[in-house]
Amino acid sequence: ERVKNKSTRECERELEKIAHENNFEVSLDKKPSKRNIGDKTLLKIYLDRDQLQLLKSRLNIHCEQELLQHLVEEKLQVTEPRTEVKPKVRKQPSQNPRSLSAAKRAIVFKKAEKKCENCGSKYFLQIDHQVSVARGGSNKVENLRVLCRSCNQRAAIEQLGLSTMDRYINGIEI
C-alpha cells in the first residue's frame, strides 16, 4: 500500500525504508550513475554501509566526496601513466567530391523548401549536382539542387545517357 501509485525511485526508497525498519538487508541492484557538469563529471556510487565505514576509518576521511577523490587519486598514482591525454581532434573534411557537410545539406534543403525543385514532391528527396561531378561540377551551393528520386534519375539519364545510367537504375551498382 505504501508504494501504490509511486514512481520507481519513490518505490525503491520506500522499500529501503521498510527493510530498514524491519532490520532486513535489501539490495536493489543500483547501477553507478554519472552526470556531466561543464568540464566536470558528477559520479555517484553505492557502497555497502560497512565497507564505507571501514574505508572512512582506515583512510581517516569524513565525507564521501573526499573518499572518492582519494580513491581516484590513489588509483591514478598506481596505474601506469599513458602518454598525455590528447584532446579530441576534429575530422578533416572528406576529400570525396560527392560528400556534403550536414550544414551544406541543410542550406540546400532550406533553399528548396524541402521539396523536389522539379515536380514539388516531398518524398525520396536527394541532392543532385546540376553540373555532375563526372563533368567537373563542384559542391558549391549554387551547383546543388533537391530532386526526388525519379527526377534525379531522369536528369542523370539526360546528362550521362541511358547506357551509362542503366546499371545504376536497375540496381546492379548503387
Any domain includes 94: no
Counted domains in the chain: 3
Report the C-alpha gap between 119 and 37 in whole angstroms: 49
Any domain includes 70: yes
Any domain includes 7: yes
Tell me which residue range forms the domain holding 55. 33-78
Sign of the CA dihedral with 162 first, then 163, 165, and 171 last: positive
Q: pLDDT value at position 100?
A: 82
Q: pLDDT value at position 147?
A: 95
State whether 114 and 160 are in the same domain: yes
State whether 56 and 22 are in the same domain: no
Instruction: List the Cα angle 41/102/164 in 5-degree steps.
Output: 145
Any domain includes 66: yes
pLDDT in tens, the chain (174 residues): 666 777 777 777 777 776 676 665 555 555 555 556 667 777 677 777 887 788 778 777 777 777 777 777 777 676 666 656 666 666 666 666 667 888 888 899 999 999 999 999 999 999 998 888 878 888 888 999 999 999 998 988 888 888 888 877 776 554
